């Protein structure tokens, strides 16, 4: 091999290594979240359960990849934190409690130690989260989303 071929090979390997490391950092660090804050008002005492998935192993959510909030007190708007312990989150499911009733969602915030917070406004919650079969009505109001859970 002459010097030009060696230089081109090293340059190509350096570029490949750079893109590999960039992808790895993007996947692990920028998709790792420590906390999800849920700003909500319940008409009953209940909790929120957050299921998360890295997207690598299948498409479903598993109980072992879920975390619960503290209890939301009835008729009191509050923000509860769900500690995700810096797990990689590519897919997310938010279950709005174990009891029937009405829930008003004012916002979600995903907090990472490696990047900026990701804030979901009521409009973004309404557009980006699909209600499951337990939610029989799902409407966007002026400053919140109303979900009727059955």
Q: What is the model's pLDDT at position 29?
A: 45
Question: pLDDT digits over 123-136, tens only?
Answer: 999 999 888 888 88
pLDDT of residue 15: 77
- The CA distance from 21 to 61, in Å, is 28
Q: How long a stretch of residues is the chain?
A: 150
Instruction: Please tell me the least confidently modeled range out of 6-20, 34-48, 81-95.
Output: 6-20
Q: What is the largest CA-CA distance in the chain?
A: 76
Higher pLDDT, 122 or 65: 122
- How many CA atoms within 13 Å lie on the side-chain side of 58? 5
pLDDT in tens, 83-132: 887 666 667 888 998 899 999 999 999 888 777 888 999 999 999 988 88
Q: How many CA atoms lie within 13 A of 91 on its CB side?
A: 12
Please compute the mean of the pLDDT values over residues 25-49 and round it to a whole number: 80
Q: What percent of the chain has pLDDT over 70?
A: 79
Angstrom distance (rounded) from CA 40 to CA 108: 9
Task: Return all residues near 86 (Cβ < 8 A) that are at least 6 apart.
Answer: 32, 33, 34, 112, 113
């Amino acid at each position: 091999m002459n010097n030009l071929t060696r230089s081109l090979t090293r340059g190509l390997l350096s570029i490949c290594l750079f893109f590999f490391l960039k992808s790895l950092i993007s996947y692990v660090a920028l998709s790792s979240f420590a906390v999800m804050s849920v700003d909500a008002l319940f008409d009953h005492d209940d909790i929120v359960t957050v299921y998360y998935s890295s997207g690598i192993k299948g498409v479903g959510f598993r109980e072992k990849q879920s975390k619960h909030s503290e209890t939301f007190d009835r008729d009191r708007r509050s923000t509860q934190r769900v500690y995700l312990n810096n797990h990689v989150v590519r897919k997310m499911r938010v279950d709005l409690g174990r009891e029937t009733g009405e829930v008003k969602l004012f916002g979600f915030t995903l907090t990472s130690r490696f990047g900026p917070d990701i804030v979901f406004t009521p409009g973004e919650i309404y557009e980006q989260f699909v209600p499951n079969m337990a939610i029989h009505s799902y409407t966007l109001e002026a400053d919140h989303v109303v979900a009727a859970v059955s």
